[in-house]
Structure 1
């Protein structure tokens, strides 16, 4: 499953690589979070650090929408269990970060401002 997620992320990186915050950047910053999403527990410090960096880089609505689309596509392209999705949804709060979107396939990225 991990290799499938990585493959999806790499494809998305090529597809969304033109935004101010590229999908490459989003993938690189969130890659340390894969173990937490798949296994639960506590996210590693490198995951929370990457999430903070990504959040600080996506300052404009178009940047936030682009990052949201990248994350949404990555989540939508992989078969997750409900536990995996719940872990992804809990990730920002576990890291103490408030994001204007959820890590969910149902998120409407166009509504993010």
Structure 2
């Protein structure tokens, strides 16, 4: 192998290492689409009340586990804030009750008035 080839191999190896480290340092962000898809089984309860479906609590718990960084928790917060901003007071009340009914303790309250920038 000549010097140019050796140098090229070294540059490619460094670029691959940097991209792998960069990818590991920035976990994927949870989108509002992810939130609404995961919580879709909860919509009936949020809109009408009644009994919380089991698959709703599975979604709540799954989303809770996925929101394992401050950035992801803020993304979930922003989505829930947006959704509750146009919801009826009864729907907001039902949404607020979901974490507790599913055995999850959120680091923020589900409300249209939340400041998601303060969520850590």
| TM-score (norm: length of structure 2) | 0.73
Question: Quick check: 1:107 aligned with 2:96?
Answer: no
Residue among 36, 42, 48 paired with 2:57: 48
* Deviation beyond 4 Å, 4+ runs, structure 1: none
Count of matched residue pairs: 93
Which ranges of structure 2 fall in alignment gaps of 5 or more residues?
A: 1-27
Asked which structure has the greater RCO (Cα within 8 Å, sep 6+), the reply is 1
The alpha-carbon distance between structure 1 residues 68 and 41, as it changes in their structure 2 partners (threshold 3 A), is same
- Give the secondary structure class of the aligned counterpart of 2:106: coil
Rg comparison, structure with higher value:
2
Give, in angstroms, the shift of residue 25 of structure 1: 1.0
Query: Unaligned 5+ residue runs, structure 1?
Result: 1-18
- The aligned residue for residue 14 of structure 2 is none
